[in-house]
């Protein structure tokens, strides 16, 4: 089979790495990819959002399966358009990807499916906001549409709530994505990510993971795309059955009932507080960097699972996971998530991957004059595996210690929560 992976992050390098090992696969392309995907795939210079060019390429190359990494093309309907062109693509169709594309829609699905989530209001006008805000002491104020992971404001009092509402509705800092907003009660607890393969009807949960969203150690500083992750996440130990029964299966059932079956990866961002379990958000894809610590633990053939999701035969597939934990430490450019420079030469990549139990996935990198240089905010994800979470963390940091570029930053405490438990 010929596979086309769409995207250019650490997640896509990880997917390309795994998929290239499938006995079914003869050739992998990655559009647009990065310096790392070149090692396991052929990069194609087409952006992940240029659906028309991707289809043209897929037809010309007779691609058997496209695998879509990021949310933007999914929400724009890439899977529907591939299907119309007679091509196979893994991921939810547009009206199912809406679970990530609109936070108000996600809430509507959760209410209909009786999935536990924070109390909320949806509003689209400033007058309405003034009436509603009185009902909240503290709140998360969220742009309804896609805002590249930056559309959520955590507000500790009414003043902060009103200022977030103003930024979205009056100053329109996210344009149309923020013209409708969700205000919801602020939840306390520890977050975890649960991802599942879905075929429209059947759901198979992956091993659990936990992201680290803030830029600095001890979870301080601004939010990022994710500075590291580990798997499994002890915070959800023993809750897997409930997550399946109270969250994953009800959502997939509700989507099927509406005639918009959910196929692909369903990602639930959970808040766990003792025995209480609530959903913060859904994503319509693999998480990044969660993917990089989940997929290395998968022993089964990922392509076979993806095909089963598309065909609706996931119930017949046995999915095997390795016991060893994994930990992914993200190395970012200096200044990220604010302004950062590109084009810094990266040293030590080969030394890092030479260690046993260490994998280096590229994110914002590119090849320039034969040298790997930085080309984005999140630059690399160094994954360690080992027979304990401690061993996995140590392996990841051994890898990180080999790598060097000007201004690089990484958190030093990825996985600390798991160790504390």
Tokens 């959002």 sit at which residue?
A: 49
140 contact choice in ligand AMP, ligand GLY, none (CB below 5 to 8 Å, kind-dependent):
ligand AMP
| Residue 186 interacting with ligand AMP (CB under 6 A) | yes
What x/- string results for residues 75 through 94 when contact with ligand AMP is judged by CB under 6 A? --------------------
Q: Residue 354: phi, psi to the nearest 5?
A: -70, -20
* Helix, strand, coil % in the chain, rounded to nearest 5: 35, 30, 35
| Number of chain residues interacting with ligand AMP (CB under 6 A) | 13
Q: Half-sphere exposure of residue 129, counting CA atoms within 13 Å on the CB side?
A: 24
Sequence-distant (≥ 6) Cβ neighbours of residue 237 within 8 angstroms: none
Residue of the chain from 287, 364, 384, 415 that contacts ligand GLY (CB under 6 A): 287
DSSP alpha helices (H): ranges in 297-357? 302-311, 349-354
What x/- string results for residues 265 through 304 when contact with ligand AMP is judged by CB under 6 A? ----x----------xx-----------------------
H/E/C letters for each residue in 97-159?
HHHHHCHHHHHHHHHHCCCCECCEEEECCHHHHHHHHCCCCCEEEEECCCCCCCCEEEECCHH
- Of 47-55, 76-84, 139-147, 285-293, the window that binds ligand GLY (rule: CB under 6 A) is 285-293
| Residue 12 interacting with ligand GLY (CB under 6 A) | no
Give the nearest distance from C-beta 349 to ligand AMP in angstroms.
Answer: 30
Reduced to 3 states (helix: H, G, I; strand: E, B; else coil), residue 170 is: coil
- Of 63-71, 181-189, 247-255, 256-264, the window that binds ligand AMP (rule: CB under 6 A) is 181-189
Residue of the chain from 187, 233, 265, 330 that contacts ligand AMP (CB under 6 A): 187
| Cα(94)–Cα(88) distance, integer angstroms | 15
Residue of the chain from 64, 71, 191, 288 that contacts ligand AMP (CB under 6 A): 191
- Of 159-167, 171-179, 184-192, 390-398, the window that binds ligand AMP (rule: CB under 6 A) is 184-192
283 contact choice in ligand AMP, ligand GLY, none (CB below 5 to 8 Å, kind-dependent):
ligand GLY
Give the nearest distance from C-beta 320 to ligand AMP in angstroms.
Answer: 30
| Cα(308)–Cα(317) distance, integer angstroms | 7
Tokens 């994994």 sit at which residue?
A: 326
Asked if 152 and 103 touch (Cβ cutoff 8 Å), the reply is no
| Residue 211 interacting with ligand GLY (CB under 6 A) | yes
Site residues (vs ligand AMP, CB under 6 A): 118, 140, 142, 152, 154, 184, 186-187, 191, 213, 269, 280-281
């Amino acid at each position: 089979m010929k596979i086309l992976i769409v995207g250019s992050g650490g997640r896509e390098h990880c997917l390309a790495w795994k998929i290239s090992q499938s006995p079914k696969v003869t050739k992998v392309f990655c559009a647009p990819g990065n310096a790392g995907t070149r090692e396991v795939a052929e990069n194609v210079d087409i952006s992940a959002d240029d659906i028309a060019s991707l289809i043209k390429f897929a037809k010309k190359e007779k691609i058997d399966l496209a695998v879509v990494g990021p949310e933007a093309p999914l929400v724009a309907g890439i899977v529907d358009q591939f299907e119309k062109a007679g091509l196979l693509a893994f991921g939810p169709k547009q009206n199912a990807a809406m679970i990530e594309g609109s936070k108000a829609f996600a809430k509507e699905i959760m209410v209909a499916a009786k999935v536990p989530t924070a109390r909320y209001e949806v509003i689209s006008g400033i007058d309405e906001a003034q009436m509603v805000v009185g009902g909240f002491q503290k709140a998360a104020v969220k742009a309804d549409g896609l805002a590249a992971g930056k559309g959520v404001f955590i507000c500790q009092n009414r003043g902060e709530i009103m200022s977030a509402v103003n930024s979205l509705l009056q100053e329109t800092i996210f344009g149309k994505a923020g013209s409708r907003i969700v205000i919801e009660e602020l939840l306390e607890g520890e977050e975890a990510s649960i991802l599942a393969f879905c075929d429209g009807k059947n759901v198979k949960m992956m091993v659990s993971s936990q992201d680290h969203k803030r830029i600095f150690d001890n979870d301080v500083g601004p939010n990022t795309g994710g500075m590291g992750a580990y798997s499994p996440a002890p915070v959800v130990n023993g809750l897997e059955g409930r997550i399946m029964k109270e969250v994953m299966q009800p959502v997939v059932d509700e989507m099927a009932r509406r005639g918009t079956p959910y196929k692909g990866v369903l990602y639930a961002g959970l808040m766990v507080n003792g025995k209480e379990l609530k959903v913060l958000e859904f994503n319509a894809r693999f998480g990044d960097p969660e993917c990089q610590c989940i997929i290395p633990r998968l022993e089964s053939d990922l392509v076979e699972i993806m095909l089963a999701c598309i065909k609706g035969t996931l119930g017949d597939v046995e999915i095997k996971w390795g016991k060893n934990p994994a930990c992914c430490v993200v190395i970012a450019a200096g200044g990220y998530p604010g302004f950062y420079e590109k084009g810094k030469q990266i040293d030590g990549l080969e030394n890092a991957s030479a260690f046993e139990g260490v994998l280096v996935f590229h994110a914002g990198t590119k090849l320039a004059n034969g040298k790997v240089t930085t080309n984005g905010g999140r630059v690399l994800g160094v994954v360690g595996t080992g027979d304990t979470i401690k061993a996995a963390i140590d392996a990841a940091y051994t890898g990180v210690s080999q790598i060097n570029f000007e201004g690089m930053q990484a958190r030093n405490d990825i996985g600390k929560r798991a160790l504390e438990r």
